[in-house]
Amino acid sequence: MPRKSSFFLKDILDSIEVIQEYIQEMDFEDFKQSRITIDATVRNLEIIGEAIAQLPLEMKNKYKNIPWQEIKDFRNVVIHKYHQLDLEILWDILEHKLIILQKQIEEVFSKEAK
């Protein structure tokens, strides 16, 4: 039986929350020195990207303000080109874009979760 979209949305929200916990006391210098934190945040970004890939196209078309494809593409970079991952870009995503995504997904979740 396929999973409901609400479960994938919840996976995204859970992963964002976990990432925020991992980096809450860090600045960029701390982050780039912590291989464990880098690995853990990257793993959760993979989960976010995979959950987004599993959402139905109808939902993505309904909420075009969310950069679904960009997030999925970043997941592919993280998985397939991990050796080229730029920590400054990663940190920028964690510090600035993740909170925006969290708010967007919370809104979708509140409207779509059934």
> Which residues are catalytic, by number?
75
Q: Contact at 8 Å (CB) between 32 and 43?
A: no
**Is 11:51 a contact under the CB 8 Å cutoff?**
yes
Cα separation, 35 vs 74, whole angstroms: 19
